[in-house]
Amino acid sequence: MTKAVIIGAGIGGSTLALMLKRFTNIQPLLYERAPSFGHLGAGLALAPNSLQCLDQLGLLQKLKAISQKVSCMNMYSNQKRKLITTMDNSFYQDIYKYPLLSFERARLQDLLVSELRENGVAVNFGHNCVGVSDRAESPGAVVAFDNGVEVEADVVVGADGGNSFLRTLTVPGGAIGDQGGGIKYTGWTTVYGITDQITQAPTEDQTQLISSLGCSHVCWPLPGKQQFWAITLHEPFPGPRPDEQSLQESLDRCQDLWFPESYGGNGSFMQGIVKRSIRTVKVPLMSGRWETPNLGRIVLIGDAAHVLPPFVGQGAGQAIEDAASLTNSLLTLPETPMVAGRTQHISRQDISLALENHTISRKPRVEKVAKWGENVGRGSMSESRIVKGLVELALKATTTKMIAKSVKWVHGPETLVKKPSQV
C-alpha cells in the first residue's frame, strides 16, 4: 500500500490524513511534535471555500455545533469612535450555501483528532521530525524523528506550520529570517486573546472591526458569549516566541484603542475586552511566498508552503484547500508495484509528477489570496491619516452586494476531492 507520511497534525495535516483515508487507497501516517494538543490558541473563522471540504468529510454539522455563525460585520472608526458601516453576511449562505463560522481553533483540532481516531488513523504525538532522506537511488524516502523512530514513505508531506523544518530541507534559505525562499517577518505583531463570557455584549453573532491609525483591532464572537480579539501592531521582530514582558509592552501601546461601550469598559478596548481575557498570546506575523522546491517525494502544504497575511482570514482555509488538491493529485498515482509478492515503493518520478500537478493547480490561487491579504493589510495597517480616511470612505461607499461580488473568486470555485472517476 502507498504510504504518505504527514509531518504535523495541525489543521492542514489532520485534514489531509482524513481525506487520504476516506477517499484513496493511500495509507496516511500522521506524526505530531507536540505531546498532545492543549487549549492554548486563537479563535478561527472559516468561510464557504473551506467549509465545503469539511462538509465533504461529513464534519460540517459537528463543526457548526461548536461554532458561532457570524451574521454581520460592523466596521468602526477608532478616530471618530463611531460605526462606519455594517456588512450583512447572509450572502455567504445565500450564494455559497455555507455560512461564516467562528470557533476556538482548539475545538476544531479536537474534532479532527477524534474523527481521525474513529477512522482508524492514529496521531503519533511526541514525534519531532528531524530528518528526511529522499535520494533518487533509494527505493523510498526515510523520515527520522528525534526519539529514534524511522519510517519509510512513498511521499512525505510537510504540514509542519510556518516554522517548518521540512521547508528548510526543500526551499533554499527556507528558515525563519532568511532571505530568498525563506519565511520573513512582516514587521507586524499580533496580540490576541479569548475572553470569558461577556453577558452584556449586545450581539452574540457579530464581528466588530475597528479601523485605527497604524493598527488593526478586531473582535469575533465565539459560542457561549465568549469573544476572540486580536490587535495587530507595527513592531521590530520580537523573536519567534515573545515572552510575558514583550506581550505587556505591546498592550501598553494600545491604551488609546476604542471599542463600543456596549461591551463594557467605558469605550476602551483594553478595559472592555482585554481585561476580560482568560488567555492572551503574542505572535510575530511572518510571511512566505510559495516557492517551488525540487519536488522528489517531499511536498509542503498549509503554512509550511505559504504563510499568508492574516487580514482576510484564509490561512487555515487555504491549508484545507491544499489538502483537497493534494489528495486529487495523489489519486492519479499508479497502483503500488509488487515484485515477487512484495510491495515496492511507487517510483520517485511518478510521485514527483503528481506533486508537480498539485503545485501547478494550487499556486496561482494561493498567490492571489496572498496578494489580496497584502492589499487589505496595507490599508488596515497604514499610519497615514489620508490613507485611513480613504479606506473609511471606501468602506462607507461599499455595499454588501459589492463585497459579495468581489469575493466570488474566493468562495465560488469548487475545492472538493474528486471521485476517482473524475480525476
What is the side-by-side strand order in the sheet with 298-300?
A: 123-124, 27-31, 3-7, 155-158, 298-300
Least gap, CB of 381 to ligand FAD (angstroms): 14
* Count of H-run helices and E-run strands, the chain: 13, 20
Least gap, CB of 133 to ligand FAD (angstroms): 15
Specify the 3-state DSSP secondary structure of 356.
helix
Q: Between 260 and 373, whose beta carbon lies closer to ligand FAD?
A: 373
Least gap, CB of 159 to ligand FAD (angstroms): 5
Specify the 3-state DSSP secondary structure of 361.
helix
Q: Between 149 and 390, whose beta carbon lies closer to ligand FAD?
A: 149
Q: Between 115 and 303, whose beta carbon lies closer to ligand FAD?
A: 303
User: Residue 193 carries which side chain, given as an amino acid letter?
Assistant: G
HSE, side-chain direction, 13 A CA sphere, residue 312: 25
Q: Between 84 and 108, whose beta carbon lies closer to ligand FAD?
A: 108
DSSP letters for 199-230: TT-S-TTEEEEEEETTEEEEEEE-GGG-EEEE
Least gap, CB of 177 to ligand FAD (angstroms): 17
Which residues are at the interface with ligand FAD (CB under 6 A)?
7-13, 31-34, 42, 44-46, 127-129, 159-161, 165, 190, 192, 230, 283, 302-304, 310, 313-317, 319
Q: Between 111 and 346, whose beta carbon lies closer to ligand FAD?
A: 111
Whether 286 contacts 184, CB under 8 Å? yes
Q: Between 69 and 336, whose beta carbon lies closer to ligand FAD?
A: 69
Place of cell 503574542: 282
**Distance between CA atoms of residues 168 and 161, nearest Å:** 12
Least gap, CB of 390 to ligand FAD (angstroms): 26
Least gap, CB of 195 to ligand FAD (angstroms): 15
